[in-house]
Amino acid sequence: MAYSCYMEIRKFRDDKIKQASHDHIKLNQLHDEIMKKVIHLALSQTAEKLGPLPCPFSFFVMGSAGRLEQSIWSDQDHGIIYQDDRVETKVYFLELGKEISKGLFQAGYSYCDGGVMASNPLWCKSLYEWHHQLMKWIFEFSWESVRYLLIFIDARTLLGDEGFVDTLKNQIYQTANKDQLVKKMLNNTKYLKNGINVFGKLVTETHGPYAGLLNIKEIGILPYVNAVRLIAIKENLLTTPTLERLDTLSELHFSDIDIDFFKDQFIRLLNFRLIYCNQTNYDSGHYLPVAHLSREQSKELKDMIKNGSALFHSVRKLIEKEDSHANE
């Protein structure tokens, strides 16, 4: 069905989301469906204003959308790659990016605070410019540019030519100083928020509206995501969901890491968030009311957190060890 305004898509979202709210996979399929509807409407709106598409392009999502790990509420992280490198096309796609971003906002996806959106020229470029930009980021090797590369690695094509994103990722993977780059990426994501204190208790927020709740995104989920992303980069994987990345890795026989076990822990964690967090808005959806958990659930949560840290630490060791060999 074709929609005539974004509010209709918002209504579609509101109608459907409840049914999908307890199933992680269904929920992310729904998000994709909603976002695609927005893009189609934005395409026709832009076509009305500026004429037909000037050249092939691809629209990709990053962050939790890129990894198919969105919760009920999610913010926007996306970009555009287009084929031709002409001034008119630049204007056209930037306008499209703005339209999509506006549409997604109206459909219930808040803007990205960091400006990682196709409405920002930094994330809306021709294939040639993208090559150039990635080279620059790799060459710069700064905290910020490496952070951009880490964001980009989670890109997943939502609409258009998948080849663009893959080509660009391969460009990153084929850089001469890849080992150093992975090491630098590790340093960028090394910070783990402490989730369990010395007494074995869960560490919750001390102040603010989420006092007494546990930040499950930072404490629970991110160690898995970051660890697995690092191995994915090391192994030149193009796929983005943490679970799929783990699947691919299992084929590569990581001797000391039990892939299936970590897959199971991660999916449980995502379900914990989905079921027990208050999904009224984006922020509240990341805070787990640990006081409501039973003794068993609480133990399960602690195990998931511990296993996440353990996974991260073994990945860290792996990368640091290889690096030290490289330096020998």
Partner 1 sequence: MDTLFLMNSLWVMLGAVLVILMIGGFILLETGSTRMKNAGHVAGKTILTFGIGSIVFWAVGYGLIFGKGNSLIGFSDFFYSGYEIDGLALSGSVFFLFQLAFAGISLTIALGGFAERAKLGAYLVFALLFSVIVYPPIAHWIWGGGWLAEHGKQDFAGSTVVHLTGAMAALAATIILKPRIGKYNKDGSANNLAGHNQVFTALSVLLLWVGWFGFNAGSTLSVDKAFFGFVAINTNLAAAAGTVAAMIISWMVLGKADVPMMLNGALAGLVAITASCAFVETWAAVVIGFIAGILVFYSIRFFEKRKIDDPIAALSVHGTAGVWGTLSTGFFATKDLATVGQPGLFYGGGLHQLGVQAMGVLVCGAFAFIVSFILLKIMKTAMNGLRVTEEEEIIGLDMSEHGSYGYPELLKSEQRLNA
Residues engaged in binding partner 1 (CB under 8 A): 193-195, 197-199, 201, 203, 206-212
Rounded CA-CA distance 21/55 in Å is 37
Nearer residue to partner 1 within complex by CB, 132 or 201: 201
Q: Which residue lies nearer to partner 1 by CB, 160 or 195? A: 195
DSSP state, residue 142 = -
Q: Which C-beta is closer to partner 1: that of 103 or that of 308?
A: 308
Are 79 and 133 a contacting pair, CB within 8 Å?
Answer: no
Minimum distance between the CB of residue 73 and partner 1, rounded to whole angstroms?
20
Q: For residue 258, give the 3-state DSSP assignment.
A: coil
Please, where are the H alpha helices in 21-126? Answer: 24-50, 63-66, 87-106
- How big is the chain, counted in residues? 328
Q: Are 80 and 118 in contact (CB under 8 A)?
A: yes
Question: Cα 298 to the chain's mean position, in Å?
Answer: 27
Cβ distance to partner 1 smaller for residue 1 or 198: 198
Please, are residues 213 and 287 in contact by the beta-carbon 8 Å criterion? yes
Sequence-distant (≥ 6) Cβ neighbours of residue 173 within 8 angstroms: 233, 236
Q: Which residue has the tokens 């037909």?
A: 52
Nearer to partner 1 among residue 60 and residue 312 (C-beta): 312
Q: Which residues pair with 57 in a beta bridge?
A: 82
Task: Write down the least CB distance from residue 214 to partner 1, Å.
Answer: 11
Q: How far is the CB of 193 from partner 1 (least distance, A)?
A: 8
Cα 19–281–64 angle (5° rounding)? 75
Find the shortest distance in angstroms from Cβ 210 to partner 1: 8
Smaller CB separation from partner 1, 239 or 284: 284
193 or 268: whose CB is closer to partner 1? 193
Q: How far is the CB of 199 from partner 1 (least distance, A)?
A: 7
- Which of 121, 122, 124 is CA-nearest to residue 145? 122
CB 82 → partner 1: shortest distance, Å? 39
- Closest approach, Cβ 209 to partner 1, in A, equals 5
CA distance 70 to 215: 16
